[in-house]
Amino acid sequence: MGKFDNKVVIVTGASSGIGASTAITFAREGAKVVVTGRNQERLNETSEKCKAVGAENFQILEVVADLEKFKNLESLVKKTVDKFGGIDILINNAGYARAETIETIELDTYEKIFNANLRAPVFLCKYALPHLKKTKGCVVNVSSCASLTAGPGGVPYSMTKIALDHFTRGFSAECAPFGVRVNCVNPAATDTRFGDNMNVTKEMFEKMLENFMKRQPLGVIKPQQISDAIVFLCQSPVITGINLPIDAGMLNAPAM
């Protein structure tokens, strides 16, 4: 028996990193998992890994979708309910970042960051809520420690994560009367493919990770360490409205 037998879980950004790890963890525990992302090949890889830990074909639904496009948000919820009959858990993990200063950023990039990191989670919550009410389900939003610190080159990204943190707290208060819980995790630097989406070279990204290592006494975080925290929040019946930093000691480390 798994901890999430027959629970229906949507995981956005499930083609790699934290999303893939989270989908696989839920699959291992018996859930029916909807994996969504923009890359079909990588989604297939995630699905195969879900099956490798015990999921049957009928327990996995792949939805290739760009959640920056508004029409895909309600469609994702509809496809999930059409396939599985309901929703128990929503994991808003998909995100987008670019290394831009306020001086260099253009409107299309600004909108892309906000649409992916904030509009998508907000409206997925809106469309999923009627189904979550029926199951007394839960939401976990994946924010970032970037919402808790400030620095050059990532202000728009940080802005979306600060807003996502506050949305989590406010939405949790709206949902509590229905028995629906809403929480958030705030990872520091994590070993994912997130750098692929940033306008930086491999060398620049490696330098960024090196700098993070100096700020994170416990080192760069593994995706499974984030997904373990996500699953914990989904299991607890009395935790709601929190932002949980998973920072490898960064927030308490001396400034460099």
Number of helices and strands in the chain (H, E): 8, 7
Taking only the tens place, the pLDDT of each residue in 166-182 is 999 999 999 999 999 99
Q: Identify whether 157 is a catalytic site residue.
A: yes
Which residue, among 142, 128, 132, has the nearest Cα to 180 in the 3D structure?
Answer: 132
Two tokens at 75? 């469609």
pLDDT above 70 for 97 = yes
Name the band, by pLDDT with cuts 50, 70 and 90, for residue 7.
Answer: very high
What are the backbone angles phi and psi of residue 186, rounded to the nearest 5°?
A: -125, 85
**Per-residue confidence (pLDDT) for residue 202, from 0 to 100:** 64
**Per-residue confidence (pLDDT) for residue 204, from 0 to 100:** 63
pLDDT above 70 for 71 = yes
Over residues 179-194, the mean pLDDT reads 85
pLDDT above 90 for 87 = yes
pLDDT above 90 for 147 = no
User: Cβ(210)–Cβ(182) under 8 Å?
Assistant: no
Global pTM value: 0.91
Output the CA–CA distances (angstroms, integers) from residue 141 to 59, 101, 178, in the order listed: 23, 25, 19
Q: What CATH number does the domain located at 8-244 have? A: 3.40.50.720
User: Cβ(150)–Cβ(104) under 8 Å?
Assistant: no
Name the band, by pLDDT with cuts 50, 70 and 90, for residue 30.
Answer: very high
pLDDT above 90 for 161 = yes
- Tell me how far apart the alpha carbons of residues 5 and 7 are, in angstroms, rounded to a whole number: 6
* Helical ranges in the chain per DSSP H: 17-28, 40-52, 71-84, 107-114, 120-135, 155-175, 202-215, 223-235
Over residues 134-152, the mean pLDDT reads 90
